[in-house]
Amino acid sequence: MGQRRRLTQDEAAELYEKLGEALPEPKTELVYSDPFTLLVAVVLSAQATDVGVNKATPGLFALAGTPEEMAKLTPEQVEEKIKTIGLYRNKAKNVVALSKLLVEEHDGAVPQTRAALEALPGVGRKTANVVLAEAFGEGTIAVDTHVFRVSNRTGLAPGKTVDKVEEKLMKITPEKYLHGAHHWLILHGRYVCKARKPECWRCHVADICLYRDKTPKPEK
């Protein structure tokens, strides 16, 4: 018999329970003050680190902290504040453009529906999921590279595409863990279940995880 590839519903619940015990109040590491600044921060975080985004956004939000203020800036003015972030030119154009749309079509408020969010420049499904979950408390799970890796490696929700992993996560994640699921999985992937060398010896869910090639504790 080959290796079992997927956790059972009970094992998935236990995995979340253990991640929850290790981190009772999971939250994004992006610094924001309201739905708009969260939306901008998440757009800026694509192919960039949260640490890098958090270094750039204070200066940007001091210059323009509302859609109305941001919409009045030129992309070049935004670029000047975020040029330490990857893809900053394209991101600057998107931030200005989405701010204008928020003012023109949503009275300056961040919309609370997936369709309206994804219609904004620079906002894809992952960004929409983060905003819906973090700002509005919806039970959605955004699948980034960390969540994708952890879901496949542990056997929680194996899939070859981001959409397939999200679909399986939504099915196997108990409702009571939905709100924290994205943060637990992303932080677990960022700090423990790392891409090149997972630190299995200090993993809270190693006994549940189906990953065969677990990394032994390094010798001192």
Dmax of the chain from CA atoms? 63
Residue count (the chain): 220
Instruction: Clarify whether 100 is annotated catalytic.
Output: no
**Given 81, 91, 144, 168, the catalytic residue:** 144
CA torsion through residues 117, 179, 32, 57, sign: negative
**Given 81, 91, 126, 168, the catalytic residue:** 126
Dist. CA 54–CA 75, nearest whole Å? 19
Token digits of residue 142:
């955004």
Q: How many CB atoms lie within 10 A of CB 52?
A: 15
Instruction: Clarify whether 144 is annotated catalytic.
Output: yes
Give the count of alpha carbons within 13 A of 201, CB side only. Answer: 6
Token digits of residue 85:
């972030």
- Enumerate the active-site residues: 126, 144
